[in-house]
Structure 1
């Protein structure tokens, strides 16, 4: 019996591609479908956490605070902030892809549609289930849209751009960004709670676990640096 160590599966490797190469890499129908399903479900997950009313994801703490001061729905705030963040890509020299623009538009639309259809329950057990379901669904949706390999979302691109420009680790940059947006969101009256903590602790491991299930391998591409 052979004792050779098997190499990592190709499907677990993210490709490092520019926006044109992303489109030309093949399997576009599958990848576009997966991208938009993932982004729509991401918006649904946001709405589930809102209706759970036990705390939101860090960026959504900011969005929920913003809508207390401007005449926007939560989904519209997600869209507006996405394009504000994209402006910050310019000095960082980040290049958006199809997935970047789709992310900026679809997540907010999906969140508003779901919120219009889903009422907030009174029972704590149901609200807790919605919160936990939202976190789990967000991990699933993240794996779907990242696995399509059609570009980073606005907030992810801000993180990677700051990482490249500052030399700080991705972990430090992500933590710094999320602490900053939570503090700003709280100052604006945003919603912080147990769900925020659970999301912060669980979303990375969940996405890492699920990504290999949905990552579309693109033959002939260069793997991204870890």
Structure 2
């Protein structure tokens, strides 16, 4: 299941396909932001984000004053999970396809209440499924999501997947989220999980748990994603602390 793509994603996917098909060979320069605006009738912001989209995938390198240059003409195996802000994390979710195979209305049990520090049971929407690449449909991870805030019109015996996903995307807009806590742990893929991700059972994996909090500090969504180890890459940049004068 996939939401309507933003304009910058459409531009990024177009450029990606042009690179993969040889329209822009290795070391070629892509059009500038100004040229893309003229070619596609888009804003400078859309052009900039479209170029950042394929930069994140790993096909191009952008340097100020030197333009955007093609550094590879095939898709990388690993996923770059380097995000510098809540906004970039949410954009990553929008740039992938989420195929839901479980959609239920559940209630927290005692173990969950203790783990999440809830004082009373809370109902939540549970979504689970495979997140995959838009361009080649290759599985990225298996995600299970507990959404604790949603509209009451979803109190139904059989939840509509499309409506539930739309509600989740609205909740995860940057205007609603105050902070995200992330936890990374190694794991082994179970036979069932390996089958869903087209990988080998008992091979190495990476578990990423993200807690999304509202600006008022309320836990509104909990997401757990399991990645095959060879598909996961996390990059972080550390810089020296500035000295106080």
TM-score range, shorter chain: under 0.3
The structure carrying a bigger helix percent of its residues is 1
Larger strand proportion of the pair: 2
Q: TM-score, normalised by structure 2?
A: 0.22
- What is the TM-score normalised by the length of structure 1? 0.23
